[in-house]
Amino acid sequence: KSQEALLALSDESQFLDLPAAEIPSIALPSAAGQAELLAKTMDYVNKTVAKLPNFYATRTTTHFVGTPTIIPDDLHDGLFPDLESGSYRRLIATGIASFTVLYRNGQDEYFDNKKRVETECNNLNMGASSGQFGEMLALFTKVAVQGKIIWSHWEMGPTGLQAVFHYTANLDFQDQLHCPNEVGIPKGSIEYHGEVAVNPENGSILRITRIQHAPEDVGFGPRKVEDETMVEYSSLEIGGMIYMCPVKSVYIDLSSAFEGKKAIRDSFNRRYGLSEDPVAEVIDDVTFAQYHLFRAEMRILPGDTPLQ
């Protein structure tokens, strides 16, 4: 339980501003230097997305349900009657699902037993979006053209110095289906903002976050608050070649805890005198491992020498 609590806190922290004490004391690049780095990143994205091979990997998701803030125990138990009660925990891991995903022809696909994947998704109500391979990288190109990107700060990452930019944009919403059998949401315009951390040497994207706020006309409904996605990339050797691939992703969904629960809402409003609905939080912690190229190999052997 302690490990689960620390994992959930770590996932939530992915979307917080870096403490000032952890920002390296390095002079920010000039306007020309920033433009050059962004151009380098754009070139990297255009080449990377186009040249990603067909491959498959194992995606493991740990699913958390709870609230972003501490609330009274009986209120928590009333909002989440299916979860463990008694020993209060703000966020509870309800299960782990692991299955194979395939990236082919520029699209994420579910690869292994589709029925099993659907069952896992339904049982966990998993919300981890697809698109960690090409779609999140392609977001940068849309933001560069239709949004605004400004310098944020330097940061020390696991592999060295990272240049971090902040972006904002209003983009057409492209629905992401969380599970193979999920019903899509109508398209619309959504406000996005987030950070892009890049390698200053070659412009490769090492981490990208996306926070989106959806208006009611997109189909989320009036009680939707926001959702947040982070994808972290690392260089991996696959089939004798080095590729930048996602190794971790975090998806957080924040919405009204009373969605579809009017009777419970009225009861708790009377008991606690709530002025606004508590927020329900869903976290999907996703890791990617066991990458393999999706390909076939063939060798042609010479036939037997004909008898003379």
**H runs (alpha helix) in the chain:** 2-13, 31-51, 73-79, 114-124, 135-146, 262-272
User: Which residue in 140, 133, 215 sits closest to 176, CA to CA?
Assistant: 133
Within 13 A of 66's CA, how many CA atoms are on the CB side? Answer: 24
Closest CA to 243 of 99, 94, 50: 50
The H or E element containing residue 168 is: strand 160-172
The answer to whether residue 218 scores a pLDDT higher than 50 is no
**Sheet strands side by side (includes 160-172):** 107-110, 91-104, 55-66, 279-293, 241-256, 224-238, 205-213, 189-198, 160-172, 148-157
Tell me what the mean pLDDT of segment 104-119 comes to: 60
> What single-letter DSSP state applies at residue 303?
P
Residue 269 has pLDDT above 60, yes or no: yes
- pLDDT per residue as tens digits for the range 123-138: 555 544 556 666 788 7
Which residue carries 């289906």 as its tokens?
Answer: 177
Q: Note whether 256 and 277 are within 8 A (CB).
A: yes
Residue-by-residue DSSP string for 233-248 = EEEEEETTEEEEEEEE
Q: Is the pLDDT of residue 8 over 90?
A: yes
- What's the mean pLDDT when you consider all of the chain? 79
Tens digits of residue pLDDT in 54-97: 788 888 999 999 888 887 777 777 777 777 666 677 898 988 88
DSSP 207-220: EEEEEEE--GGGTT
Lowest-pLDDT choice from 47-51, 186-190, 208-212, 270-274: 186-190
This prediction has a pTM of 0.81
Residue 8: partners with Cβ closer than 8 Å, 6 or more residues away = 64, 91, 93, 283, 285
What is the mean pLDDT of the segment spanning 197-208? Answer: 94
